Amino acid sequence: MRHFLRSRPAIAMWLCALMLAACGSEESAEKMVERARQHMQFKEYAEAIALCDKAIAAQADFGPAYETKGKALHTQGKSEEALAAYVAWVAAAPADAYAYFYQGRLQLELGKHQDALASGDKLVELAPDGAESYALRGTARLRTGNESGATEDAKRATENDPKCLNALLLTGELALAEYRYADAEKAANTAIKLEARNVQALLLRARAALELDSFGKARDAIDAAKEAGADTMLEYWYWGAAIALSADEYDRAASMISGYEAVCSGGADNSTALVLRA
C-alpha cells in the first residue's frame, strides 16, 4: 500500500480521479430541471421547486427552470407565487418569448387583463409569426373591451396555425361575446378534441352549455374541469355556482360559493361571491 502511494504514476492517477469526481459534482442547470420534472411526476413539489431554485442560481436566464417552478407552484394553487416566478423569468431573460407567454397566460387566469395585454404586445413583438402570440394578445384585448382587435388577432392566430388550441378558445370566447352560443360550443368541443383535459376548453364548454340552457352538459363540463385541476381557479367556482343556481341546485350552489370564497381568502376580491349569495 505504501509503495502504491509513493508511486508517482499512481499519485497522478489518484489526483486525476479526484478532479474528475469534483467536475462531475457540478450538476448542470439542465440536469437539475430534468430531476425537478421527475419529482413533479410524483407530486413532490417542494423537491422540484428546490431544484429549480438551484438551477436558477447556477444559470439565471435558464428558462426551463422558471417554467417548471411556475408549474409546480400553480399546480398547488399558489398562482401568485407562480406568477412571481414568471415575472422573474422575464426580468432575467427579457428577449425570451416563452417567458412572456407563461406570464401572460397566468395574468389572464388571475384577471390581470391589462398586464396580460402588455405581455401579449411584447410576445407579438418577439414572435410575430406565432399563433400563440396573437391568441394571447387577442384574449387580453377581448377582456379589456377591444372586441375588434380581438377579432383581428383571432384571425391572425388561426391563419398561422388552424390547430392552435388557444386560438380556438379565443374564437369561442368571441362567439360567447356575440351571443353565438352554438359556435362557442363548437369551438370548445374542437379544442377538447385536441386536448381532452384542457381546463379552459372545459370551462368554455360549460359556459356555452349554460347559455343554451343545457344544464346537464354544463354540469358535466364543470365537473370535468375540476377533475382536470380547475378547483384552484376562481373561474371554476364562479361558473360552477352560476350553473347550479340556473339549475335550481341551491345546495351545490352554496358549496361552489364557499369554494369561491376560500380561493379569495388569499387576498383576492370576493365581492362577486357576495353577489352570488344574494
pLDDT tens digits, one per residue of 193-222: 999 999 999 999 999 999 999 999 999 999
Q: Indicate whether 20 pLDDT > 50.
A: no
Q: Between 163 and 16, where is the model more confident?
A: 163
pLDDT at 24 over 90: no
pLDDT in tens, 81-140: 999 999 999 999 999 999 999 999 999 999 999 999 999 999 999 999 999 999 999 999
pLDDT above 80 (res 268)? no
Question: What is the per-residue pLDDT for 22?
Answer: 46
Q: Under 8 Å CB-to-CB from 192, ≥6 apart: which residues?
A: 198, 201, 202, 205
CA distance 105 to 137: 10
Residue 234 is predicted with a pLDDT of 86
Task: Indicate the average pLDDT of the chain.
Answer: 89
pLDDT bin (cut points 50, 70, 90) of residue 178 is: very high
Residue 46 pLDDT: 97
Q: How confident is the model at residue 77 (pLDDT cuts 50, 70, 90)?
A: confident
Region 241-253: mean pLDDT is 96
Q: What is the pTM of this model?
A: 0.81
